[in-house]
Amino acid sequence: MFRNYLSIAIRLIQKQPGYAFINIVGLAVGMAAFFVITLFITDELSYDKHFENSDRIYRVAVHGVTSNGDVNTAMTSPSWGPEWMDEIPEIEALVRMKPPQQMWLVAKDDLKFFEKGFVFIDSTAFDVFSFDLIRGSQETALSAPFSVILTETMAAKYFPNSDALGQNLRLDNAYDFTVTGIIRDLPGQSHFKADFLASLSTLRTPIYGDNFLESNLNMSLYSYALLVPGTDPSVVATKIDAYIDRTVGEILKTVGATIHTALQPIRSIHLESHLDSEILPNGSKGTVMALAAIAVFILLIACINYMNLATARSASRSREVGIRKVLGAERPQLIRQFLGESFIISMLAMVLAVVLVLLILPTFNTAAGKALTLLSSGFLSAVAIFLGVAMVCGLVAGSYPAFFLSSVTPAYALKGGKLGAAGGGMLRKVLVVFQFATSIGLIVATVVVFRQLNFTRNMDLGFDREQVIVVQLTDVGVRALFPTFRDRIEELPSVVSISGTSSAPGFFIQTNLVLPEEASQEETVFAQTFFSDYDFVETLGIRVIAGRAPSEAHPSDSLGAFVLNESALGAFGWDSDPNLAIGRRLSFPGGNFEGLVIGVVEDFHAESLHEPIEPALIAVANEQSYFYAVIRIQAGSTKDAISEIGRVWQDLYPAYIYQYSFMEDDINELYASDLSLGRLFGGFSFLTILIACLGLFGLASFTAEQRTKEIGVRKVLGASMGQITFLLSKDFARFVVIAFVLITPVAWIGMNRWLDTFNYRVSFGIGTLLIVGLGVLAISLVTVAYQTVKASMANPVDALKYE
Amino acid sequence: MIRLEKITKSFLHGFNRSFVLRNISLEVKEGEFVSIIGPSGSGKSTILHILGMLDEPSTGEYFFFDQPVHKISERKRTDLHREYIGFVFQAYHLIDDLTVYENLETPLLYKKIKGSERKSMVAEMLDRFNMVAKKDLFPSQLSGGQQQLVGVARALIMQPKLILADEPTGNLHTSHGEIVMDWFKRLNKEDGVTVIQVTHSDHWASYGDRVIELVDGRVERDVQNEPVPTSI
């Protein structure tokens, strides 16, 4: 019996290779997209699950409320952790971790690299995180200052030909660490990156200042707690709040601030935590859900193709059903036959899908910033997913033809009854409309994402982001020589101007509490602060609207001079007239820095356009505050500038690596996740429209066939070729129009919601929707054109003889 | 064997009900060879479909070997027609994508007959109809007459007690028609198979022992024929 079905299925493929091709390719593309997305989602969901007890590990996050804004940070104060450990019994183990703000320079003799994964961590690291130590002792490896544990990869990188254990590594050209252990590499699916585990006790030494580990109100490292099984994390958070209130509550009260903590399960950090100072850029639950929906839709669309084509062909298949019934077939046997056929098709599609996945993955990885492989979720699970998808597709795609065709009354079928038109017609239309609605929706999403990205790229940010090079000043030693560096850079012909600064657009922006004179403590304002050189305003091309920019010509500027942006004026209540601000005195609470306002500038966007413009102040400060040098170069001399600056750097700082970037790129980097979202939408919308058009092409050919007689009669009655083509095209155009009307509100609401995550966004109205709709209409008409024109050109006599 | 009581079949066309069969009552005994004749649209094919359980009457009762067909389940009906009835069609109705051999085999598959037994039954049938050389051809590679012989062979392979033939010679040259008709005659006389055929030609009708004429869905005439000597 099975052989009988198999031979029918194979002969059908041989007899109508075009039909089989459309079905197999359509399904394969759908399956490949589904599989790639499954890989992505599995990867996103696996973050930090590799740690034993990961269900009991929590990171302590701080939510601070001040009179002028909220602070949500993933960091806590260094002194807190050990004391919580002592006084809160629900905490089974606690570890503090300090990853580098940017990177550390690590050296073994002449082997020098900037390392992102150099973290300082408590000796209790092994109590919380199940790092797999293969050399050294868990008890002692991290107890002494200047101890470091390497991953296998790092051990091989720095000590390629010798045993790393017991040898030295030099950090930042200054501090020697002894290798006390080796751990296995950590999986990439973690919200932090650790290639080096250095003892946190090292930080009692001057790396971060002598009292770093004792500071009790300085959110500057991360604390992780392993809770006793069965503990409610909110109970622990309450106890931590009580501790904070007891120890630093008084100080907080004087500046009008309150602090609450929350415990974040580490498994949820990657997708759900979006606090300030996340260690690495996190993923987004929204993207995961959007992709999951896309995966299901694409697969569904591919299955719909199969169903559509099968029902379109049902007229010819129904005769076979009739005969089989006459010969004694029962419905279940027929259902099995048709399901069997769709299984064969879907198995063939699966094989093609594996090939497609291999082709798609590199592009997908680039778009999504991942390193997925066919087997990255494991061989068995890959096989299981593929087979599972093929089975489900076979079932879903085959179900409609199977149940529909098997219900045919034999007498009717044998008389040549037109089932295709009568029975499957309505459902088929609904399915085609669904396909096009999905396609239009995805294309609209793609267009909107790219329009917004284009908008962000071209929007006036309040300064000139082009022709600016950012050089990182990573180290105290580098900063100390900055005045010399600046003077020599200024002399270069390719350079317009240079300024040192503590924060730069596209990078981490520091914020500080600022207090105007004669104001009470409650009136402090959170402001982005750029501690910088005299030429900062000039170098970035920020526009002055009142007063003046700092200048060496005014010696008093070195005693403390501030430039405010317009938003800062608003925050201080001086926005009626910018000149009001000039001459006012500002200070940072704590009293170590104060000065006069000398100028006001237009608002400028230092952060991504997702964020609103915040109060900002530019403060003249000396070179020890600079983390970056921003250098404006002559247009057209980019190459010269890079090499000339590099030569000066090598000359002055032979021990350090010359690291530069273009500010424009740094700023675009802020939209990396938006860009990858756009690329993903783009890629998948291409696939859906491809599948939908494949299906439409097949459908058009069957419709043309079904209507051969009608076309013949019309031609005999004098219809022209154009009229016939129009008649046939009209029906397909109707699908697109209905799909458009249905999807428009959904797309409009959905994409406006996404755009609302930007504080500065493009407008998105019916125009974009109409353009996409017309585009899809055009694509679909071109798709069916071949069939309709062919049908309209046919000789009417042949068509009528056919009867 | 077959008893119809007041069978009607009607369709709704908009608000009008049109009758294809009106109050047909008749009886067919085992071993009869019945020809049903009548002009186009007289309901010949419909009554054959009803007899073959391929279609259901709108009202009336149908007893097949005293079983009330109008009352029993679909499954039971399938069993009945699998067991007792073979069909031959004007348009042959072979499965295009199966070879002659496979077409003959299909009804056996549905009856779940074992492989070896199936082989011998198909082989016997091929032999009987002189089609051994053609067993691997597809229907489209055969002439109409040959296709109809495959159709007859397929109907016979289940050794049915009743053969229902819907204009079996309608698409054939007369000479081919004779061959098919002679087969029916022989099966009827030698194996005692009941044959009911529908035709609109008096010539083919004359092969039957009994002729029923339908006009506008009514039995107009029901007469016994003089036996025609078989040519074999």
Instruction: Answer with the one of A423, A442, A465 that is the final residue of a domain.
Output: A423
The rounded distance, in Å, linking the Cα atoms of A784 and A693 is 9
CB contact under 8 A, B109 and A325: no
Residues A499 and A400 in one domain: no
| pLDDT of A355 above 60 | yes
Residues A295 and A211 in one domain: no
The rounded distance, in Å, linking the Cα atoms of A652 and A661 is 19
Instruction: Answer with the one of A602, A635, A658 that is the final residue of a domain.
Output: A658
The more confidently predicted of residues B105 and B78 is: B105
Number of alpha carbons in the 13 Å side-chain half-sphere of residue A539:
28
Q: Which residues pair with A119 in a beta bridge?
A: A197
Residues A47 and A135 in one domain: no
Q: Which residues pair with A532 in a beta bridge?
A: A501, A620
Residue of A127, A78, A60 lying closest to A264 (CA atoms): A60
Q: Which residues pair with B36 in a beta bridge?
A: B198, B212
3-state secondary structure of A198: strand
Q: How confident is the model at residue A424 (pLDDT cuts 50, 70, 90)?
A: low
Q: What pLDDT was estimated at residue A417? A: 54
Tokens (6 digits) for B55 = 């279609």
Residues A80 and A214 in one domain: yes
**Residue A135: which residues within 8 A CB-CB, separation 6 or more?**
A165, A181, A182
Is residue A163 domain-resident?
yes
Q: What pLDDT was estimated at residue B82? A: 81
**Residue B191: which residues within 8 A CB-CB, separation 6 or more?**
none
The rounded distance, in Å, linking the Cα atoms of B77 and A794 is 46
Q: How confident is the model at residue B232 (pLDDT cuts 50, 70, 90)?
A: very low
Q: How confident is the model at residue A802 (pLDDT cuts 50, 70, 90)?
A: very low
Q: Give B-chain residues touching A8 at CB under 8 angstroms.
A: 95, 97-98
Q: What pLDDT was estimated at residue A800? A: 61
Percent of chain B with pLDDT over 90: 34
Tokens (6 digits) for A238 = 């309450």
Yes or no: say if A298 and A691 are a contact pair by the CB < 8 Å rule: yes
CB contact under 8 A, A327 and B154: yes
Query: In chain A, whose CA is at the least distance from the CA of B98?
Result: A8
Q: What pLDDT was estimated at residue B226? A: 66
Residues A407 and A554 in one domain: no
- A207-224 confidence digits (pLDDT tens): 776 677 887 777 888 999
Is residue A21 domain-resident?
yes
Q: How many CB atoms lie within 10 A of CB A732?
A: 23
- A677-698 confidence digits (pLDDT tens): 788 888 888 888 888 888 888 7
Domains recognised in chain B with CATH numbers? 2-224 (3.40.50.300)
* Mean pLDDT comparison of A610-614, A654-658, B133-137, highest-scoring range: B133-137
DSSP H helical segments within chain B, as ranges? 44-51, 74-84, 100-110, 115-128, 144-156, 174-186, 202-205
Is residue A245 domain-resident?
no
CB contact under 8 A, A330 and B52: no
- Chain A window 317-336: which residues touch B at a Cβ cutoff of 8 Å? 319-320, 322-330, 333
Q: How confident is the model at residue A498 (pLDDT cuts 50, 70, 90)?
A: very high
Residues A104 and A226 in one domain: yes
Is residue A80 domain-resident?
yes
The rounded distance, in Å, linking the Cα atoms of B182 and A389 is 56
Query: In chain A, whose CA is at the least distance from the CA of B92?
Result: A323
Percent of chain B with pLDDT over 70: 97
| pLDDT of A723 above 80 | yes
Yes or no: say if A319 and B93 are a contact pair by the CB < 8 Å rule: yes
Tokens (6 digits) for A25 = 């390719």
Intra-chain end-to-end CA distance of chain A, in Å = 34
Q: How many CB atoms lie within 10 A of CB A296?
A: 12
Yes or no: say if A235 and A267 are a contact pair by the CB < 8 Å rule: no
Q: Which of A44-48, A424-428, A723-727 has the lowest mean pLDDT?
A: A424-428
- A690-722 confidence digits (pLDDT tens): 888 888 887 787 777 777 777 877 877 878 888
Yes or no: say if A468 and A604 are a contact pair by the CB < 8 Å rule: no
**Domain span holding position A36:** 1-52+283-423
Instruction: Answer with the one of A406, A423, A440 that is the final residue of a domain.
Output: A423
The rounded distance, in Å, linking the Cα atoms of A280 and A672 is 13
| pLDDT of A205 above 80 | no
Tokens (6 digits) for B211 = 């002729």
Residues A345 and A479 in one domain: no
Pairing of strands A525-532, A616-620: parallel
The rounded distance, in Å, linking the Cα atoms of B96 and A680 is 46
Burial A368-393 (b: 16+ CB within 10 A, else e): bebebeeebbeeeebeebbeebbeeb
Yes or no: say if B176 and B206 are a contact pair by the CB < 8 Å rule: no
Q: What pLDDT was estimated at residue A68? A: 58
Residues A125 and A27 in one domain: no
| pLDDT of A389 above 60 | yes
The rounded distance, in Å, linking the Cα atoms of A562 and A619 is 5
Q: Give A-chain residues touching B103 at CB under 8 angstroms.
A: none
Residues A373 and A297 in one domain: yes
Is residue A132 domain-resident?
yes
- Torsion-angle region of residue A329: left (phi > 0), alpha (psi -120 to 50) or beta? beta
Q: What pLDDT was estimated at residue A590? A: 62
Q: Which residues pair with B213 in a beta bridge?
A: B37, B221
The rounded distance, in Å, linking the Cα atoms of B204 and B37 is 10
B114 in reach of chain A (CB within 8 A): no
Q: How many domains does chain A have?
A: 3
Mean pLDDT on B47-71: 89
CB contact under 8 A, B105 and A326: no
Residues A651 and A509 in one domain: yes
3-state secondary structure of B207: coil
Yes or no: say if A288 and A45 are a contact pair by the CB < 8 Å rule: yes
Query: In chain A, whose CA is at the least distance from the CA of B104?
Result: A327
Q: What are phi and psi of A257, to 5 degrees?
A: -120, 150
- Chain A window 283-322: which residues touch B at a Cβ cutoff of 8 Å? 319-320, 322
Yes or no: say if B198 and B167 are a contact pair by the CB < 8 Å rule: yes
CB contact under 8 A, B52 and A326: yes
Is residue A575 domain-resident?
yes
**Residue A1: which residues within 8 A CB-CB, separation 6 or more?**
A333, B109
| pLDDT of A420 above 60 | no
The rounded distance, in Å, linking the Cα atoms of A57 and A44 is 18
Question: What DSSP designation does A162 have?
Answer: S
Q: How confident is the model at residue A229 (pLDDT cuts 50, 70, 90)?
A: very high
DSSP H helical segments within A653-720, as ranges? 663-669, 672-706, 708-716
Residues A390 and A481 in one domain: no
Is residue A176 domain-resident?
yes
Q: How confident is the model at residue A129 (pLDDT cuts 50, 70, 90)?
A: very high
| pLDDT of A773 above 60 | yes
CB contact under 8 A, A323 and B54: no
Is residue A152 domain-resident?
yes
A426 in reach of chain B (CB within 8 A): no
Query: In chain A, whose CA is at the least distance from the CA of B51?
Result: A411
The rounded distance, in Å, linking the Cα atoms of A119 and A115 is 10
The more confidently predicted of residues A779 and A413 is: A779
3-state secondary structure of A641: helix
Q: What pLDDT was estimated at residue A713? A: 79
| pLDDT of A239 above 90 | yes
Q: How confident is the model at residue A418 (pLDDT cuts 50, 70, 90)?
A: low
Yes or no: say if A54 and A280 are a contact pair by the CB < 8 Å rule: no
Query: In chain B, whose CA is at the least distance from the CA of A330?
Result: B78
The rounded distance, in Å, linking the Cα atoms of A439 and B108 is 48
Q: What pLDDT was estimated at residue A688? A: 84
Averaged confidence pLDDT in chain A: 85
Q: Which amino acid type is present at position B71?
A: K
pTM: 0.77
- Chain B window 130-159: which residues touch A at a Cβ cutoff of 8 Å? 154, 158
Residues A194 and A287 in one domain: no
| Pick among A321, A327, A335, A409 to test the B interface (most B CBs inside 10 A) | A327
| pLDDT of A618 above 70 | yes
The rounded distance, in Å, linking the Cα atoms of B2 and B68 is 10
Q: Give B-chain residues touching A803 at CB under 8 angstroms.
A: none
Q: What pLDDT was estimated at residue B127? A: 92
B89 in reach of chain A (CB within 8 A): yes
Q: How confident is the model at residue A100 (pLDDT cuts 50, 70, 90)?
A: confident
The rounded distance, in Å, linking the Cα atoms of A619 and A532 is 6
Q: How confident is the model at residue A803 (pLDDT cuts 50, 70, 90)?
A: very low
DSSP for A77-106 reads -TTHHHHHHHH-TTEEEEEEEE--SS-EEE
The more confidently predicted of residues A285 and A194 is: A194
Q: What pLDDT was estimated at residue B81? A: 80
Q: What pLDDT was estimated at residue A167? A: 92
Mean pLDDT on B7-19: 84
